[in-house]
Every structure is written in C-alpha cells, then in structure tokens.
Structure 1
Amino acid sequence: MSHTAHIPSHRKPRRSASKMALRAGVTGGVLSTLAVAGASGAASAAEPVTQTIELPTLTTDLSTQVAQSADATQQAAADYQLQAERDEAFTKAADQAKKDQAEAEQKAAAKKKAAAAARAKAEREATEKAASRSTERTTLAAAAPAGSTETAAAPASGSVASVISFLKAQVGDAYVMGGTGPSSWDCSGLVQAAFKQAGVDLPRTSQAQSTAGTSVSLSSVQVGDILYWGGAGSAYHVGVYIGNGQYLDAANPSKGVVIQDLSGYPASGAVRVL
C-alpha cells in the first residue's frame, strides 16, 4: 500500500455501478448513433447507383439520335441520287439540243442551197423566155407589109404568139358589156381570155389590168403589151398592141372586136406581162 493511501483525499474513487451503467449506455448510444450514421452514409454512398435508372432514358435518346442520323444519311443519299439523275437528264437534254441544232442548221443550209439553185434556174429560164419573146416580137413586126393596116399572121407557137393568134381569131365578134366569149366580149374580158392562152391569169377589170404587169413607156411598147386608156389603176379601156402602131380591142357595140391604129386613138399607158 502507498504511504498516502490512508489519506482520503488521495485515494482513487471507485467507480460506482450506476456510473458504469451510465457510461455503458452512453457508449451504446454513441455506437448506435455511429451505426445509424454509418448506415445513413452507406445509403448516401449508394445513391449514385440509383441514378442508373436513368440509363434506359439515355439509351432511348441515343437510339433516337442514331435513327435520326440514319434517316438523314438515307435522305442525303436519296437527294444525291436525285441530283445525279437530274444532272444526267440535263446532260442528255443538252446533247439532244446540240444534235437538233446541228440537224436544223444542216436542213437550213440544204434549203438555202436548194433555194439558190431554184433562183438560178428561174433567172436562167426568165432570160431564155425574154430572149424568146424578143424574137417573137421582132418576127411579128417584120412580117407586116409597110403601111399595111393588117398584121401578118403570128407564129403558131410561143406565149406572145398564142395571145396574138387568139385575139386575131376574135376579130368581128360582137361587143357586149360584161362579155367573156366565146363570140361576144367587152374590152377586159377579151384581154383576159387572150392571155389565158399563154398561161397568164389576169384580173377581170380594165382598172386592175392596167397595173397587172410592169409599166412601160409608149415609146418602147412591144408586141403583146397591154395598152390602157385613163389612169393606171383607174383605166376605162384596154387593148393589146400587135405591132406597126396598131392594137386589137373590143372597142364598142358599134365596132365590136377590131384592129385599130394608135394614131387615131392614142393610149394613156402600157404594161408588160409577158
């Protein structure tokens, strides 16, 4: 024993049972509290695990995005194919247009060439025809005796000759206003019928016949030219020059179809249709 043990103030107090019980209770409470806290902490620590419930939602959104991306890719591919088809169609159309243009140009060139050939042929025929008419008129004029009031018979062939031959065959026929043959005539009806023998379709009236061909001066009038009295386009009478200063016409009811001298009844003008 310590030398101070007999001193009450220096003795270690004994722990009473109640205090020990109290301490045990406190300790148990603390442990319980810690256990509860630990459980609570464990529960808190487990909370992130409960967030995995949202994973299906995230997976659904991702699937939707993937599907949308696939749709967009498919649409882009379809658009690309459509554009490619349009480009191909445009290229074909452009090629066809070039081909059509080339064919059109070839046709136009061929048509132009044919027109030029036809024009050259027409000019050649017109030259030959003019030379033939000149020869016919010279023959008709030279065949008439000097100072004669009658013209010699015209050649049996040729456009001018056919006109003169027809006219002379009607000499002595009656004059009838509006007459067109075969045995009675007015002035324009006779002229129209005569030129029809040469394949020329003249208008019916003297007014229209006075402007039907090329105007010529009376000083250069030739056999077969149409003579008119009155103004061009308003003529009141027509006849045909047959050479040697003479013309043939359906004069009036008292004379009928006759051959007359221009000196006795000078014409106002002349036109040439042959």
Structure 2
Amino acid sequence: MSHTAHIPSHRKPRRSASKLAVRAGVAGGVLSTLAMAGTASASPSAEPVAETTLEMPVLNLDLGADVSSAVTVAAENTRLAAVEGELTAQEESARTGAAAEAKQAKEEAQKKADAEKAEKTAKEEAVRKAEAERSSRSSGSERTTLKSTAAPQGTGTVSAPASGSAAAIVNFARAQVGKAYVMGGTGPSSFDCSGLVQAAYRQAGISLPRMSQAQSSAGTSVSLSALEPGDILYWGSKGSAYHVAIYVGGGKFVGAQNPSTGIVERNLSYDKPTGAVRVL
C-alpha cells in the first residue's frame, strides 16, 4: 500500500457553526422562559390580572302592561269578529226566508189564478154546450113550426097581456130581438143572457144581480104552468143556473141565446127551462 493512500478517519464530523448557533439560541430561549415562570410564581406581591365585565343595556319596559293590553285588544277583535259573523248569518237567514216566502206567495197566487181560470173556462164550456144542445133540438118540422108561429122580431109589441112593470120589462126585452150576443155584454148594442134580463128589469126600476146564478134565486119560485109576463126563466139548478131569459107571455120567451143566434124570441118548447122565479 502506498504511503499516500487516503485512510478514512474515525472521528465524528464537525458540526457547522451555523447549526450550533441556532441550537444555542433555542436553548437560551427555553431557559429564559422557565426562569420567568418561576419568578412569577414565587413572587407573592404580584397583582392579579384585572377582569373586564360587559354590562348589557337596561330596557325600561313595562312588559306586564303591554301584554295585558295586547290580550285585551285580541279579545275585543275576536268578539267583534264573532258579532259580525252572527249578524252576517242572520242577514243571510233573513234573505233566504224572505225569498222562500215570496216564492210560496207567488206559487199560491199562480194556483189561485189557474183555479179561477179553470172555473171560468168550465162555466163558459157549460154555456156553450147547453146552447149547442138547444140549437140541435130545432130541426125538421119543429123548426118549421117555430118559424111560422114566431112573432115578428124587433117590433117591440107584446102578444100576451101585460101591464105596469111587467109591460115595461117585456117591451124592452122584445125591442132587443135581433141584436148581437156578446159574452159579458150589458147593452145597448149587445147583451149576454143575464145582461139582457138585468137591463130589462132596470126599465121597471128594479135592480137585479149581474150573474145568472144570482138571478135564478131572486124573488119566489113559480111553476112553469103558471107563468106570467116578466117572470125570469132559468136553465140549470136554482142558484147555480147557467142561462136565463124573460117570459113574454103566449108561451114564449125572449133571451140572448148564443153568438150564432143573438137575441131571439122563441116558444118554450124550443128549449124548455128548468124553472122560473117571479120578482114583480
């Protein structure tokens, strides 16, 4: 081996100066801190660290009064709402009741009107039916006989004896022969059956009811075999007659028969009446 060959050293390598300085500084700082701590703990005259306390602002509120007032207001609002709801319910109930009563009244009025209309129609139909039956009876030789024996129409004369009030009634009735029949007519150009009888009796100063039903109940009942001029003849039941006429004597009557014949003078056999009443 050469004498100049490198032989590794067994000594520890040297630490650099900078590293040693850093370590020394760290150690010194630690020792200084420990010393200060020991001094502080050993000194009895050390002053305690002052503590800082934050004070909250004081609110000057009367919470009890505010809560009581709020409760009172809420209770009053609740009461007012209940009252308003009750009034609304009562108004709605009143409107509903009024509407129901109005509807019921309207229905009752309509029923009454319908009933009156039906009754009037039935009466008119009964009159038309009776007049048609009377017209159908005059046929063949009977019609010829009636034409030959009928008194001249429109002359205003009386073939049977009559005097006083009876004469006034008969003369007026016969003077209307040939005029038109109109339902509800009371003269002077047209009549219905009861309108003619009422107008004739007015000539004698006697006031009669307007309708045939009431006229058939006026005065006293008389037999058809004992008739006198001026007696009222009726067809149907007494008190509910559907047709009336005036007996003019000689077995004849004058009456407003129907729209097709008008006011005519006929024999009793043409259409025999149900009964008669005497007012004079």
TM category, shorter: 0.3 to 0.5
Task: Give the TM-score, by structure 2 length.
Answer: 0.44
Greater share of helix residues, 1 or 2? 1
Task: Give the TM-score, by structure 1 length.
Answer: 0.45
Higher relative contact order (CA 8 A, sep 6+): 2
